Amino acid sequence: MITRLETGQRMSKIVIHNDVAYLCGQVGAGETVAEQTADCLSRIDALLEQAGSDREHILQAIVWLRDMADFAEMNAVWDAWVPEGHAPARACGEARLARDVLKVEIIITAAVRR
């Protein structure tokens, strides 16, 4: 069974299949990459809760930065957010994002809590 939450014409914010939650890419508001990352992670927290998951159940994260020069600044926020001992598999790359003001986008896959 596939469950789709907050589904629109283009995408669903959450898709759950076989107790795995797939979140659509999240971006955040703010001027700096740190501010955008913090806001983005706050949005991820809300979606994880809605999906019946949490930070400790994240399986994989894909991080896209507009500029890899922001890697350390983004990581400072990320490292404080990830629970110790629960770091997911993660990739980070540089990409042109949907809008010029965006500095970071994060895609999460997580196990649903049992």
Active site residues: 92
Helix extents (H) in the chain: 33-51, 71-81
Residue pair 58/86 in contact by the 8 Å Cβ criterion: yes
In angstroms, the first-to-last Cα distance of the chain is: 17
